[in-house]
Structure 1
Amino acid sequence: MAFLHTPYDGSKQPFSVGLEPVGETEWLETDKAFWPQLARKQELLASSRETVFRAREDTGEAQREVLDLVLANLRNRPDVYPGWSGGRPVLRDRDGKTVFAGSPDEPALVTASRFIQEDLVLMRKSEAGYFLAAACLCFPSSWSLADKFGQSMHGIHEHVPDFNAGRMGQVVARIFQNLQTGQLLARYNWSIYDTPELHHPKPKSLSPQILDGSLASLGALFIRVERQTLRRLPGSGDILFTIKIHHDPIFQLQRDPRGAALAGSLREQLLGLSADQLSYKGLTPFRDALAGALSRMAETGSEAIA
């Protein structure tokens, strides 16, 4: 097994914008977690709709733009979406049972989100800057849509180190201002969790058991990588964020051909975080123990974790 995205490999710096261009065919991703993630979305939309979906009433047209873009992209992926009805894919599980076929009665952003692993967030321009106008967010990484809905970029990133006080917020504002229709950009970040659950609307709190620093302690941890893309919608001018979660057990690094090197580079990035950055990632009391365990993983190469 090889990890698809490894922003901790030394090629990117944590807490940096790090945008890079991607093509339309790479905009949306499908991986081994396709069916489990779509099933989890269906559960959350059925049981916790107000938690995972919020939208201003005047975003209907922009939501339909998003749905049209998603459907156009999926049309070119018959290996994943072979069956269509009424202009929308019909998702069937491995037993042939229909899981979802689209619905004209729900918000377009919700429908679009049901077909793909990515979450979808709409940012709209105002005199005070861009603000969160709509989102279908099933897999947040320790933030609440209810808390952030309607907030500006400044408010959304209030607790992100150096975003508002440093250059990062200024760089993002310029990117938003200058982003052209047709441009498609991506960026990545990483975090560490101790549960396989994807839905994390509350602040992260790792289990104290990882403090022993043993190699075996990594067996309970997951590397969570967010792949974010952004593009400007051609009609509304809103900016669409997609957020794809890759949530893999750390021990599987040892099955990656680059595993030892990746464990070492993750350790270096961990040790290079400032106090504020460590606190934001919820890793302050765990840094040294994690660094020690990652060092042992780098040294043992392909040996299995006990």
Structure 2
Amino acid sequence: MTRQPSPPFHHTPYDGTSQPFTVGLKPIGEEGWLEPDPLLAKHLREKNRLFSEHLETVFRAEVDTTPAQQEVLDLVKENLSRFHQETHRVGDDAVEIAETGERVVLSGSPPLMTAARLVQEDLVLMRPGPDGYRLAAAALCFPSSWSLAEKFGQSMTGIHDNVPGFNGSRMGMMVARIFDNLKAGQFLERFNWSIYPDGELHHPLPKQIRVKIDDGALAQLFLRVERQTLRRLPGSGDILFTIKIHHDPLAALEAQEGRAGLAEGLRTQLLALDADQLAYKGLVATRDDLARALEKISLGKP
């Protein structure tokens, strides 16, 4: 079965439905927790490569997290079996990826890694402790400018120490309360967007975007949207944080239905970023050129 590439701009949080550097969590149904799409096989191939060639970079786990990891694997299997039979054939001992016929054996590897080899989402296990929730285990193949090695074992404060307006702010306190009060059976979703100079999925290093509009700014850049979800594991009480990457060439916006509104929404959010937020997103040198290019799209100019 040959599946067509997923359409670009599947999620568009910059259209006004979300705001950058805010909590922005919204409830979703269990059927929408995982999000396999036509790029499933491609993303899983890249995950398998990273697990094979760069294991310590993309997987870490505290020694006592194995039961919680198994809980994650069981929940992923259950969800795929109930809601995603078109893409996954779930058996007792293995799961077959329908498009490729590849069988992922369900034993013999850390359960969190096995779960991550079934889905496009990265899987991060947050465990409560004296300093709040900390990163206790993760299969993180597609980070957006952060390193699992640096953040592993850190609390929410440490993980977000470079995020403008998080620590010591209302946003940080709200996230802490949400983590404390999240109940098993609840599913929450939020989005982030960023801009990158290439279409690579694995981006552990910080970046700075430097292009000029007369160099064809849009043709060089990719719009990266993170879809994040939260759910509490009913057994361990840990929180599972998932991250799904959508990575689209920004030039494709020019042919997108509703492009004027999307371009204006992204331009508006770009121009609203303060200096610290621009630096965090790596857009200090590019924001104005990019805003002008987006304005042309929004006005229908060549």
TM-score range, shorter chain: over 0.9
State the distance in 1 between where 2:106 and 2:17 align: 42
User: 8 Å contact 1:66–1:109 — kept in the other structure?
Assistant: yes
Render the CA deviation track for 1:166-204: whole Å, top value 9, x for unaligned. Answer: 211000000011111111000001000011100011111
The Cα of 1:50 is off from its aligned counterpart by 0.5
1:123 is paired with a residue of what secondary structure? Answer: strand
> Residue 68 of structure 2 aligns to which amino acid in structure 1?
A
1:184-195 → structure 2 map (5 Å cutoff): 184-195=187-198
User: 8 Å contact 1:14–1:189 — kept in the other structure?
Assistant: yes
- Structure 1 residue corresponding to 2:126, chosen from 120, 123, 127: 123
State yes or no: 1:264 paired with 2:267: no
Render the CA deviation track for 1:51-74: whole Å, top value 9, x for unaligned. Answer: 000000000000000000000001
State yes or no: 1:15 paired with 2:21: yes
Answer with 160-169 or 138-147: which moved more: 160-169
Render the CA deviation track for 1:142-179: whole Å, top value 9, x for unaligned. Answer: 00000000000000000000100321100000001111
1:1-306 → structure 2 map (5 Å cutoff): 1=7, 3-76=9-82, 77-81=84-88, 83-91=89-97, 93-94=99-100, 98-206=101-209, 208=210, 210-211=211-212, 213-214=213-214, 216-300=216-300
State the distance in 1 between where 2:290 and 2:159 align: 29
> Do the aligned partners of residues 138 and 148 (structure 1) sit closer, same or farther apart at CA in structure 2, a change above 3 Å counting?
same
State the distance in 1 between where 2:221 and 2:296 align: 15
The Cα of 1:238 is off from its aligned counterpart by 0.2
User: 8 Å contact 1:214–1:292 — kept in the other structure?
Assistant: no
State the distance in 1 between where 2:92 and 2:183 align: 31
> Residue 27 of structure 1 aligns to which amino acid in structure 2?
W
Render the CA deviation track for 1:231-271: whole Å, top value 9, x for unaligned. Answer: 11001000000000000111122232111110111011000
State the distance in 2 between where 1:26 and 1:110 align: 21
State the distance in 1 between where 2:233 and 2:197 align: 36
State the distance in 1 between where 2:278 and 2:208 align: 13
State the distance in 2 between where 1:287 and 1:56 align: 40
Q: How many matched pairs?
A: 295
User: 8 Å contact 1:180–1:232 — kept in the other structure?
Assistant: yes
Cα RMSD (Å) of the superposition? 1.5
Render the CA deviation track for 1:210-246: whole Å, top value 9, x for unaligned. Answer: 22x2483201111100000001100100000000000
User: 8 Å contact 1:138–1:199 — kept in the other structure?
Assistant: yes
State the distance in 1 between where 2:148 and 2:78 align: 27
> Do the aligned partners of residues 214 and 296 (structure 1) sit closer, same or farther apart at CA in structure 2, a change above 3 Å counting?
farther
State the distance in 1 between where 2:93 and 2:33 align: 20
User: 8 Å contact 1:181–1:233 — kept in the other structure?
Assistant: yes
> Residue 25 of structure 1 aligns to which amino acid in structure 2?
E
Answer with 85-94 or 249-258: which moved more: 85-94
User: 8 Å contact 2:160–2:167 — kept in the other structure?
Assistant: yes
TM-score (norm: length of structure 1): 0.93
